[in-house]
């Protein structure tokens, strides 16, 4: 049995580059950029009006002019309309290009409009106010997004603004999720007295979907030959196999032996942690990876977040995320030689500290309890008493 840190090191050492691919930018949400994106022109591309009102030349204000004749009205997208005299103004809308003969925008709230005239009702006018100047955000050829950045809604907006209709993103590994066991039936079936519906595979698929990965699903019965046949097909068609259950010490846990016979080398089996102690990890002779999680729902959920997602993040060469830590809100005892992943509910206190409140459950099979929590707190192996106010790492889900 190895430590969590040793398991993490072994897994991350197997991070792999699956190449890159081109996708339409509107389908790139959640993917990781494999190219640098540059502005095709200045952002904004012109001096942009940021308030509805009038555009004037500030020299008029300095000379004491407070009433302006409205020469014309300019909407966003219209060609700019210049003024010829300081006593003139252009009634102008948000988003419009500022006329070259003006330099200041006065909002409607600071004006009285009557009979084609605009009169100031305030003395608080500054040169250049309510103008977003050309190139203020980015200059042409400046980088707006870079390799390793996840594509967020904000990045999508930037991509659209610089005309990037297609993107080079890191290619995702082909992943299959395997559930196992004759006690499991499909969601739409009525389980017998000794059966339960499958849920782990759907949970895993949902988590991966959050990270832009659409995995396939299959189910393995408790039959060694069928298991071996199905696993062989998976190794021919996928880069990563995620297993849930069938890797403990039970009489019908055939998966470890089948994996061995198919050329999968065990890199470790059993981690000094709770939940998830029977976690199995290996690599096929041809390079495919196998993450075999324990069948208990909480254990599968924890191992997925603690091990698979960091491996995926590393494989995609994504920019490192900051480590998140929280303050333990209640005293806790755990007298086992294992690193404990405590289910917690996160919240901020009045001092803006991230707090973690333990939520008691009924062991790693209590999947209903996960709906009442939103993170695992990683409590160190070396301690058995954890005091209120101590700070530990958390893994949100």
Which residue's structure tokens are 């996960």? 370
Indicate the SS3 state at residue 232: helix
Give me the phi and psi of 5, to 5 degrees please.
-65, -40
Indicate the SS3 state at residue 188: coil
Per the CB < 8 A criterion, the answer to whether 98 and 55 are in contact is yes
pLDDT, residue 122, reads 96
Indicate the SS3 state at residue 124: coil
CA 213 to chain centre: 12
Mean pLDDT confidence for 10-31: 96
Between CA 393 and CA 177 the distance in angstroms is 28
Between CA 100 and CA 65 the distance in angstroms is 20
Percent of the chain with pLDDT over 90: 82
Neighbours of 64 (CB within 10 A): 6
pLDDT, residue 285, reads 96
pLDDT, residue 291, reads 97
Neighbours of 175 (CB within 10 A): 23
Q: What is the mean pLDDT of the chain?
A: 93
Give me the phi and psi of 247, to 5 degrees please.
-120, 15
**Does 28 have pLDDT greater than 80?**
yes
CA 253 to chain centre: 35
**pLDDT, tens digit (0-9, with 9 covering 90-100), for 314-329:** 999 999 989 999 999 9
pLDDT, residue 9, reads 98
The residues that bridge with 285 in the sheet, in sequence order, are none
Which residue's structure tokens are 């089996």? 269
Identify the CA nearest to 266 among candidates 251, 279, 249, 250.
Answer: 279
- Burial label, 225 (beta-carbon count in 10 A; 0-12, 13-18, 19+): exposed
Strands 53-56 and 196-197: unpaired
pLDDT, residue 186, reads 75
Long-range contacts of 258-266 (CB under 8 A, 24+ apart): 258/224, 258/227, 258/228, 258/231, 259/231, 259/290, 259/292, 261/228, 262/228, 262/231, 262/232, 262/235, 264/235, 264/288, 264/290
Give me the phi and psi of 329, to 5 degrees please.
-85, -20
Between CA 240 and CA 287 the distance in angstroms is 9
pLDDT top residue among 330 and 180: 330
CA 197 to chain centre: 29
Between CA 108 and CA 278 the distance in angstroms is 68
**Does 36 have pLDDT greater than 90?**
yes
Identify the helix (H) or strand (E) that includes residue 153. Answer: helix 153-161
pLDDT, residue 18, reads 97
Cis peptide before 141 (omega within 30 of 0): no
**Does 207 have pLDDT greater than 90?**
yes
Non-local CB neighbours of 142 within 8 Å, separated by 6+ positions? 38, 39
Mean pLDDT confidence for 336-362: 93
**Does 252 have pLDDT greater than 60?**
no
Per the CB < 8 A criterion, the answer to whether 207 and 217 are in contact is no
Give me the phi and psi of 12, to 5 degrees please.
-65, -25
- The encoded tokens of residue 337 equal 């030689």
């Amino acid at each position: 049995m190895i430590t969590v840190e040793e398991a993490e090191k072994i897994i991350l050492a197997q991070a792999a580059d699956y190449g890159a691919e081109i996708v339409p930018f509107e389908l790139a949400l959640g993917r990781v950029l494999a190219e640098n994106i540059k502005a095709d022109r200045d952002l904004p591309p012109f001096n942009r009006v940021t308030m509805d009102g009038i555009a004037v030349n500030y020299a008029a204000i300095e000379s004491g002019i407070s009433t302006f004749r409205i020469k014309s009205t300019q909407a966003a997208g219209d060609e700019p309309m210049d003024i010829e005299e300081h006593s003139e103004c252009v009634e102008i809308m948000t988003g419009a290009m500022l006329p070259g003969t003006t330099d200041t925008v006065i909002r409607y709230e600071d004006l009285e409009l009557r009979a084609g005239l605009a009169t100031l009702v305030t003395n608080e006018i500054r040169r250049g106010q309510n103008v977003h100047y050309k190139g203020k955000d980015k200059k042409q050829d400046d980088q707006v997004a870079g390799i390793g950045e996840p594509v967020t809604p904000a990045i999508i907006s930037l991509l659209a603004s610089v005309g990037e209709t297609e993107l080079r993103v890191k290619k995702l590994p082909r992943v299959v999720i395997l559930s196992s066991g004759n006690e499991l039936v499909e969601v739409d079936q009525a389980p017998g007295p000794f059966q339960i519906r499958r849920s782990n595979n759907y949970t895993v698929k949902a988590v991966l979907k959050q990270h832009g990965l659409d995995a396939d699903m299959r189910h393995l019965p408790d039959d060694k030959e069928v298991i071996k046949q199905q696993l062989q097909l998976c190794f021919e068609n996928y880069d990563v196999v995620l297993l849930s259950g069938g890797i403990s010490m039970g009489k019908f846990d055939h998966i470890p032996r089948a994996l061995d016979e198919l050329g999968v080398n065990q890199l470790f089996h059993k981690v000094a942690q709770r939940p998830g102690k029977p976690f199995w990890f290996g690599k096929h002779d041809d390079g495919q990876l196998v993450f075999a999680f324990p069948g208990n729902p909480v254990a599968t959920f924890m191992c997925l977040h603690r091990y698979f997602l960091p491996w995926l993040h590393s494989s995609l060469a994504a920019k490192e995320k900051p480590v998140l830590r929280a303050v333990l809100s209640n005293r806790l005892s755990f007298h086992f030689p294992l690193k404990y992943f405590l289910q917690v509910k996160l919240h901020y206190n009045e001092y803006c500290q991230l707090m973690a409140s333990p939520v008691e459950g009924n062991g790693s099979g209590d999947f209903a309890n996960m709906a009442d929590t939103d993170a695992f707190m990683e409590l160190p192996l070396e301690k058995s008493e954890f005091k209120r106010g101590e700070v530990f790492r958390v893994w949100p889900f």
